[in-house]
């Protein structure tokens, strides 16, 4: 059965590939992003009928706007089976002395507050299906932080714990929530990290019924 998938950060390299991959498999897509021009461009590339595609520019920090988006997705598709939260962002290379409060605030917004808002508005719809998937991308440095990355690793750790909390809350609804950890996303395929294709392949497996028993896991892809 075709599923209804919400993808955030849809116009980024990873979101773009995920959208194309799952669209090819026949699933319906709700693509959320802040860049309207890139979102329109992606929609044209996908060449999906309007019945299978929902696009909207939305600020994930705006809880009210995000709630409206969730209601619009439900109105169009009737259900939501998966949430792929693929918004990224990194601030690092600075010691505690050199790092600014703005750096920390940016990372909190990017990783913690967006995740909280998304889980709050989409988890009821996910749990209502009796089947669902939540996937978030995180960093290999979270379990063992390096120096000069405190704001990033601390907020990614908080995000990961939100995913694990959601996994525990929704397990009886047969909704899984998992984390894919990478050292870096190797956009140019230079062998310096995990490629978008490798990440999306892991997402495909976690989305499959073969992964029904994988829940609340940190999956190292590095």
CATH of domain 4-220: 3.40.50.720
**pLDDT above 70 as % of the chain:** 100
pLDDT digits (tens, 9 = 90+) for 58-70: 999 999 999 999 9
Q: What pLDDT digit, counting tens, does each position of 130-144 carry?
A: 999 999 999 999 999
Q: Whole-prediction pTM value?
A: 0.97
> Does 1 score more than 90 pLDDT?
no
Tell me the two tokens of residue 219.
Answer: 């999956």
Res. 122: pLDDT tops 90: yes
CA distances in angstroms from 214 to 135, 150, 174, 198, 206, listed in the order given: 11, 29, 11, 18, 8
Average pLDDT in the 152-160 region? 98
pLDDT of residue 205 exceeding 90, the answer is yes
pLDDT in tens, 157-197: 999 999 999 999 999 999 999 999 999 999 998 899 999 99
Mean pLDDT over the full length of the chain? 97
Give pLDDT tens digits for 85-118: 999 899 989 999 999 999 999 999 999 999 999 9
Q: What is the pLDDT of residue 78?
A: 98
Contact 7, 136 (CB under 8 A): no
Domain boundaries along the sequence of the chain:
4-220
């Amino acid at each position: 059965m075709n599923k209804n998938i919400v993808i955030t950060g849809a116009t980024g390299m990873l979101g773009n590939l995920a959208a194309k991959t799952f669209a090819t498999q026949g699933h319906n897509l709700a693509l959320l992003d802040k860049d309207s021009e890139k979102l329109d461009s992606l929609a044209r590339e996908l060449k999906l009928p309007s019945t299978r595609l929902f696009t909207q520019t939305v600020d994930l920090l705006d809880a009210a706007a995000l709630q409206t988006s969730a209601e619009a997705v439900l109105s169009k598709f009737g259900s939501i089976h998966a949430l792929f939260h693929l918004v990224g962002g990194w601030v690092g290379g600075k010691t505690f002395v050199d790092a600014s409060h703005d750096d920390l605030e940016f990372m909190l917004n990017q990783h913690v507050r967006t995740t909280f808002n998304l889980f709050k508005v989409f988890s009821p719809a996910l749990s209502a299906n009796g089947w669902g998937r939540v996937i978030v991308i995180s960093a290999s440095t979270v379990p063992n932080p390096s120096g000069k990355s405190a704001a990033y690793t601390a907020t990614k750790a908080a995000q990961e714990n939100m995913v694990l909390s959601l996994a525990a809350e929704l397990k009886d609804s047969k909704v899984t929530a998992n984390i894919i950890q990478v050292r870096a996303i190797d956009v140019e395929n230079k062998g310096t990290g995990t490629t978008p294709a490798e990440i999306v392949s892991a997402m495909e497996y976690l989305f499959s019924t073969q992964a029904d028993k994988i829940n609340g896991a940190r999956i190292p892809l590095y």
